[in-house]
Structure 1
Amino acid sequence: MDEVREKKQEIRNGISTFFNSLASDVLKANTRVIENRLFEFANFLESKIVMLYVNTENEVATDAIIKRAYEFNKIVVLPAFDTAKSKMKLMKVDNPDKDLINGPRGILEPNPAKCKPVPLDSIDIAIVPGIAMDEKGGRIGSGDGYYDRIIPDLPMTTRKVGLVFEGQLVPQVPMESHDKHVDIIITERRVIYKI
């Protein structure tokens, strides 16, 4: 178990080095390509209720994706984190400029005073963050397990889509029994179907 965690940390450190090596214009251009691929993706276009994420360090930036989703008449759902219980609650966000507050993880999240909870079974597509992924859909997140706990509770029909740069793809993610896979991965070069 410790060996797997150490390997995951090594991968996280390598991804951090990768992000630090990218020129900001390359990062922006590749992020835009991933965004455009997502907005051309049939499963995304057909969905009504979309679970997105606010990125942390070493994840594909989502601020433009979140704003653009409203132009496509999507109902945008973002996670609010309860760090004491290691859980997250999904909440509908009507206006990201007014409905988000700084959360316990140091990132923006839905303000519970303004946003309503959304049941997991209503999510049509879940865009899942990752620090690293492999072509089989294995993923490494922040290490807190929030998404590993929520993915199994999403409906079978809900597509779980990871967004990463090609440089975040690793040959094989070391998986533990509680780790969950994504169905599809979108990079700046391709769409990888694991399903």
Structure 2
Amino acid sequence: MEHIEAAKLALRDQLLTARGQLPVAELAARSRVIADLLLATDEVRRAATVAAYVSVGREPGTGILLDALLAAGKRVILPLLQPDNDLDWAPYAGPESLTRAGRGLLEPAGEPLGPDAIGTADVVIVPGLAVGSTGVRMGRGGGSYDRALGRVPVGTFVCVVLNESEVLADVPAAPHDRPVTAAVTEERLVRFG
């Protein structure tokens, strides 16, 4: 298990360094493509509720996507990071409804819905640092999303938002790592078996 964590740490460092070198203008252009690709999927078009997140720093942008989901009449819920690294959820009511929380995160100011609210979403959009060809997602290492994804019913469309260079043949995986059903990048949406 220690060798898996060491491999993850090394890969995280490499991926975060590469993200840090992306020009801000490039991130903005990519966020539009990512939003368009997701909005074009049958799953998102049919969804009543979408669980998503607010991108921060050099993560592929989700702001355009969040506002487009609201404009399309979707109920959007966003995570609230808890002291134990678990995620609660609250409704998104637009960019003005976001408040700065711990770790530099932006969170919705609405009433918390409880950690199980993610299980009510028709579509779940998650952050990550990489994904392998089998859908194994690698995050930042806090375990928040692995825990949250354990509450998502089997068969739910779960998509990680990444840069194309972060879709890899393989990523180090531990037994607690939860797979995703798809990944979206600035170039494509790829589905996993």
Q: Normalising by structure 2, what TM-score?
A: 0.91
**Within 2, Cα distance between the matches of 1:158 and 1:117?**
19
Counterpart mapping for 1:98-113 below 5 A: 98=97, 100-111=98-109
Residue 3 of structure 1 aligns with an amino acid whose one-letter code is H
Deviations 1:31-54 (A, max 9, x none): 221111011111111101000111
Query: Which string of whole-angstrom CA distances, capped at 9 and with x for unpartnered residues, describes residues 50-98 of structure 1?
Result: 0011123442111221112111111010000112x22111111223313
Change (3 A) 1:64 1:101: same
Change (3 A) 1:10 1:31: same
Question: In 2, are the aligned partners of 1:53 and 1:128 still within 8 Å (CA)?
Answer: yes
Q: What residue is the counterpart of 2:173 in the other structure? A: 175
- Structure 2: state its 5+ residue gaps: none
Identity of aligned residues (%): 27
Aligned match of 2:141 in 125, 143, 151? Answer: 143
How many aligned positions are there? 191
Q: Distance in 2 between matches of 1:3 and 1:44?
A: 38
Distance in 2 (alpha carbons) for counterparts of 1:34 and 1:88: 24
Q: TM-score under structure 1 normalisation? A: 0.90
**Partners of 1:172 and 1:116 in 2: how far apart?**
36
Q: Which amino acid aligns with 1:141?
A: G
Match of 1:156 in 2: 154
Work out whether residues 31 and 64 of structure 2, in 8 Å CA contact, stay in contact via their aligned partners in 1: no
- RMSD of equivalent CA atoms: 1.6
Say if 1:181 and 1:58 are closer, same or farther in 2 by CA, change over 3 A: farther
Instruction: Confirm or deny: 8 A CA contact 1:132 1:169 kept in the other structure.
Output: yes
